[in-house]
Amino acid sequence: MLAGWLLAPALCWMGVFFVLPLALVFVISFASRGTYGGVEWTFSLANYLNVVDPLYLKIFLRSLTLALATTVLCLVLGFPLAYYIARLPVRWQGVWLLLVMIPFWTNFLVRTYAWMFMLRAEGLLNTLAMGLGLIASPIEILYSPAAVLIGLVYGYLPFMVLPLYAAIERLAPSVVEAAWDLYAPAWAVFWRVIVPMTKPGIVAGCLLVFIPSLGAFITPDLLGGARTMMVGNLIQHEYLVVRDWPFGSAISFVLMGLVLAGVMAYVRAEGSRRELEVRR
């Protein structure tokens, strides 16, 4: 009984600030747009049918590709870092984790502007590389998909490192030692011992990076020069530029549906695989 009451504040909060707005967006997604924006209450499925227009599918595809690339890069960069931190003396682990987190004390927008200064034609990176004689003329990185990728990886790397660290920290070194002692080759130690045992961390990290980077909009806007649109930008564009809220709402729901379907499919596959293993 008491437990039920303890739940009440959170339920109220979620109901008012999460479920209600979401329901509103859902209802609007079936309405249509007035000439100057605003919502006209005529029921139609047109918005959902429009989403499958090749023009918009292209944006979904581009966002998926960029989000996947971001996730993979974060994993490749983050795993060795997390492993290193987790194997340090406990005293030093805190220091390193702090270093990973320090950038978060500054506003994300400010940090993105800093990247703009670094990546521009006469910016820090180009000046440095030219000064060292590595390149003859400045490379145009800013306002390209590459700049967006760099920005996304930078922004979401900590979301990968922290869950990985937590998982690796829990992996007893003796297990790895045992694998070595039993003459497992290096690849087998990694693929058949370390990876399976840190899998929850890998999955958590990948989800924490993939989902927000799929919906990112500040990074593609500022580092992509508003040329490389992602789904997040498309939604923002529909809401704030062309003022077509019904269509913007429909895209939001399709995006949400896709992410949810992906995660559920994964969880289900994982669940049945585990069941199989248990039965075996």
Q: What does the binding site for another protein look like in residue numbers (CB under 8 A)?
A: 35-38, 55-56, 58-59, 94, 97, 101, 104-105, 107-109, 120-122, 140, 142-143, 158-159, 162-163, 165-166, 169-170, 212, 218, 225-227, 229, 233-234, 237-245
Q: How far is the CB of 12 from another protein (least distance, A)?
A: 19
Q: How far is the CB of 90 from another protein (least distance, A)?
A: 8
* Residue placing its CB nearer to another protein in the complex, 121 or 269: 121
Buried b vs exposed e over 58-91: b needs ≥16 C-beta within 10 Å? ebbebbbebbebbbebbbeebbebbbebbeeeee
* Residue placing its CB nearer to another protein in the complex, 79 or 159: 159
Q: How far is the CB of 279 from another protein (least distance, A)?
A: 29
* Residue placing its CB nearer to another protein in the complex, 175 or 182: 175
Strand-pairing partners, residue 32, are 40
* Residue placing its CB nearer to another protein in the complex, 100 or 184: 100
Q: How far is the CB of 46 from another protein (least distance, A)?
A: 14
Q: Report residue 54: phi and psi, to 5°.
A: -50, -35
Q: How far is the CB of 59 from another protein (least distance, A)?
A: 6
* Residue placing its CB nearer to another protein in the complex, 145 or 225: 225
DSSP string, 240-253: IIS--HHHHHHHHH
How buried is residue 5: exposed, middle or buried, by Cβ count under 10 Å (0-12/13-18/19+)? Answer: exposed
Helix axes 199-214, 54-86, angle to 10 degrees: 140
Which of 59, 3, 90 lies closest to 247, judged by CA? 59
